[in-house]
Amino acid sequence: MSDRIKKLGEKIAKREQRIEKLNDNLKDERSRLATDKELLFNLQYSEVFKRIQETGVSPDEALKAIVSGVKKNQVETEVKDDNSNNSTMREGAQGYAKTY
Protein backbone atom coordinates (compact mmCIF):
# COMPACT_ATOMS: atom_id res chain seq x y z
CA MET A 1 0.00 0.00 0.00
CA SER A 2 2.84 2.44 0.72
CA ASP A 3 4.24 1.76 -2.77
CA ARG A 4 0.97 2.87 -4.24
CA ILE A 5 0.98 6.05 -2.14
CA LYS A 6 4.57 6.78 -3.10
CA LYS A 7 3.89 6.30 -6.84
CA LEU A 8 0.81 8.49 -6.66
CA GLY A 9 2.79 11.19 -4.85
CA GLU A 10 5.48 11.08 -7.54
CA LYS A 11 2.85 11.24 -10.26
CA ILE A 12 1.29 14.30 -8.65
CA ALA A 13 4.70 15.99 -8.32
CA LYS A 14 5.44 15.36 -12.01
CA ARG A 15 2.09 16.84 -13.00
CA GLU A 16 2.73 19.92 -10.88
CA GLN A 17 6.13 20.37 -12.53
CA ARG A 18 4.57 19.96 -15.97
CA ILE A 19 1.91 22.55 -15.13
CA GLU A 20 4.58 25.00 -13.92
CA LYS A 21 6.52 24.48 -17.14
CA LEU A 22 3.39 25.04 -19.23
CA ASN A 23 2.60 28.22 -17.27
CA ASP A 24 6.14 29.50 -17.88
CA ASN A 25 5.82 28.73 -21.59
CA LEU A 26 2.44 30.46 -21.66
CA LYS A 27 3.92 33.59 -20.07
CA ASP A 28 6.73 33.58 -22.63
CA GLU A 29 4.26 33.13 -25.48
CA ARG A 30 2.08 35.97 -24.21
CA SER A 31 5.14 38.19 -23.99
CA ARG A 32 6.11 37.34 -27.57
CA LEU A 33 2.54 37.98 -28.70
CA ALA A 34 2.51 41.41 -27.06
CA THR A 35 5.85 42.22 -28.68
CA ASP A 36 4.57 41.14 -32.10
CA LYS A 37 1.39 43.19 -31.70
CA GLU A 38 3.42 46.24 -30.78
CA LEU A 39 5.73 45.70 -33.75
CA LEU A 40 2.75 45.30 -36.08
CA PHE A 41 1.20 48.52 -34.79
CA ASN A 42 4.47 50.40 -35.25
CA LEU A 43 4.94 49.06 -38.78
CA GLN A 44 1.38 49.97 -39.72
CA TYR A 45 1.82 53.43 -38.22
CA SER A 46 5.08 53.91 -40.15
CA GLU A 47 3.42 52.80 -43.39
CA VAL A 48 0.51 55.19 -42.92
CA PHE A 49 2.85 58.04 -42.02
CA LYS A 50 4.98 57.31 -45.10
CA ARG A 51 1.91 57.36 -47.34
CA ILE A 52 0.74 60.63 -45.82
CA GLN A 53 4.12 62.18 -46.59
CA GLU A 54 4.12 60.79 -50.15
CA THR A 55 0.66 62.12 -50.96
CA GLY A 56 1.21 65.48 -49.32
CA VAL A 57 -1.93 65.23 -47.20
CA SER A 58 -1.79 67.23 -43.99
CA PRO A 59 -1.90 65.17 -40.77
CA ASP A 60 -5.12 66.93 -39.72
CA GLU A 61 -6.87 65.96 -42.96
CA ALA A 62 -5.63 62.39 -42.66
CA LEU A 63 -6.87 62.17 -39.08
CA LYS A 64 -10.29 63.48 -40.08
CA ALA A 65 -10.47 60.90 -42.89
CA ILE A 66 -9.51 58.11 -40.53
CA VAL A 67 -12.07 59.16 -37.91
CA SER A 68 -14.86 59.48 -40.48
CA GLY A 69 -13.84 56.13 -41.97
CA VAL A 70 -14.09 54.47 -38.58
CA LYS A 71 -17.54 55.96 -37.98
CA LYS A 72 -18.66 54.88 -41.45
CA ASN A 73 -17.44 51.31 -40.87
CA GLN A 74 -19.25 51.16 -37.55
CA VAL A 75 -22.52 52.28 -39.15
CA GLU A 76 -22.12 49.75 -41.99
CA THR A 77 -21.50 46.96 -39.49
CA GLU A 78 -24.65 47.86 -37.56
CA VAL A 79 -26.71 47.94 -40.76
CA LYS A 80 -25.33 44.59 -41.89
CA ASP A 81 -26.16 43.06 -38.52
CA ASP A 82 -29.72 44.38 -38.71
CA ASN A 83 -30.21 43.05 -42.23
CA SER A 84 -29.01 39.57 -41.31
CA ASN A 85 -31.37 39.44 -38.35
CA ASN A 86 -34.32 40.61 -40.43
CA SER A 87 -33.67 38.05 -43.16
CA THR A 88 -33.49 35.29 -40.59
CA MET A 89 -36.77 36.39 -39.11
CA ARG A 90 -38.41 36.49 -42.54
CA GLU A 91 -37.21 33.00 -43.34
CA GLY A 92 -38.64 31.80 -40.05
CA ALA A 93 -41.95 33.49 -40.77
CA GLN A 94 -42.07 32.01 -44.28
CA GLY A 95 -41.33 28.57 -42.89
CA TYR A 96 -44.11 28.99 -40.36
CA ALA A 97 -46.54 30.11 -43.06
CA LYS A 98 -45.69 27.07 -45.21
CA THR A 99 -46.10 24.71 -42.29
CA TYR A 100 -49.49 26.07 -41.24
pLDDT tens for the chain, residues 1 to 100: 699 999 999 999 999 999 999 999 999 999 999 999 999 988 888 888 788 888 887 777 777 877 777 666 555 555 555 555 555 555 555 555 555 4
3-state secondary structure the chain: CHHHHHHHHHHHHHHHHHHHHHHHHHHHHHHHHHHHHHHHHHHHHHHHHHHHHHHCCCHHHHHHHHHHHHHHHHHHHHHHHHHHHHHHHHHHHHHHHHHC
pTM for this model (two decimals): 0.48
- pLDDT recorded at residue 11: 97
- pLDDT recorded at residue 47: 84
Domain chopping of the chain, boundaries: 1-56, 58-100
- pLDDT recorded at residue 45: 83
**Residue among 73, 54, 74 at smallest CA distance from 62:** 54
- pLDDT recorded at residue 94: 58
Phi, psi dihedral angles at 56 (to 5 degrees): 80, 15
